[in-house]
Structure 1
Amino acid sequence: MLTPVDCVEFLVLVDNSLDSLSSVPKHVSLEWPRLMRHGMKELSGEGQCCANHGLSLVVTARRGGVSHAVMFDAGPENYVLERNAPRLGVDFSTIEGIVLSHGHWDHAGGLPAAIRSTVSAGDGRPIPVFVHPGMFRQRALTLPSGTILPIKAIPNPSELMDLGARVISSAQPQIILEDYFWISGEIPRVTSYEQGFPGHLRRSEDGASWEADPLIIDERFLAVDVRGKGVVVFTACSHAGVVNVLRHARDTFSPVPLYAVAGGFHLSAANERIIPETVADLGSFGLTVIAPGHCTGWRATNALVRAFGEDVVTPSAVGKTYVI
Structure 2
Amino acid sequence: MKITALMENTKINEDLACEHGLSLYIEFGNKKILLDTGASGSFLSNGEKLGINIEEIDAVVLSHGHNDHGGGLKAFFSSNSIGKVYLKKEAIKDYYAYKEGDKKYIGLGKDMIEDNWKRLNFINEFTEIEKNIFIISEIEKDYPLPQGNSNLYMEDKNGFRRDEFTHELVLVIRGEEGIVIFTGCAHNGIINIIKTAKDLFPGEKIKGIVGGFHLMNEGRWDGLCMENEEIDKISGVIIKEEVEVVYTGHCTGERGYLRLKEKLGEGVKYLSTGDKIDI
Check whether TM > 0.5.
yes
Residue 225 (structure 1) aligns with? 174
Gapped runs of 5+ residues in structure 1? 1-7, 21-44, 120-124
Instruction: Give the structure with the larger strand fraction.
Output: 2
TM-score when scaled to structure 1?
A: 0.78
Alignment match of 1:316 (pick from 257, 263, 271): 271
Matched letter for residue 287 of structure 1: V
Larger Rg, first or second structure (1 or 2): 1
Could you say what secondary structure the match of 2:225 adopts? helix
Q: Which amino acid in 1 is paired with 2:23?
A: S
RMSD: 1.9
Cα drift, residue 151 of structure 1: 2.2
CA contact (8 A) 2:132 2:175 kept: no
What's 2:11 paired with?
18
Deviation at 1:51, TM superposition (A): 0.9
Task: Tell whether 2:88 aligns with 1:132.
Answer: yes
The aligned counterpart of 2:36 is 73
Structure-1 residue corresponding to 2:197:
249
**3-state SS of 1:197 partner:** helix
Aligned to 1:235: 183
1:134-213 equivalences in 2 (<5 Å): 134-143=90-99, 145=100, 147-156=101-110, 159-160=112-113, 162-163=115-116, 166-177=119-130, 179-192=131-144, 194=146, 197-205=149-157, 209-213=159-163
How high is the TM-score relative to the length of structure 2? 0.90
Tell me the distance in 1 between the aligned counterparts of 2:146 and 2:69: 21
- Residues paired across the two proteins, number: 271
- Which amino acid counterpart does residue 160 of structure 2 have in structure 1? W
Deviation at 1:289, TM superposition (A): 1.0
Q: Is 1:171–1:218's contact at 8 Å kept on the other side of the alignment? A: no
Of the three residues 272, 284, 306, the one matched with 2:226 is: 272
Q: CA deviation at 1:161?
A: 6.0
Give 1:287's aligned residue. Answer: 243
- CA shift at 1:304, angstroms? 1.6
AA of the residue aligned to 1:68 = K
Instruction: Deviation per CA, 1:221-240: give whole Å up to 9, x if none.
Output: 1111110x211111010001
Aligned structure 1 segments of 4 or more residues deviating by more than 6 angstroms = none
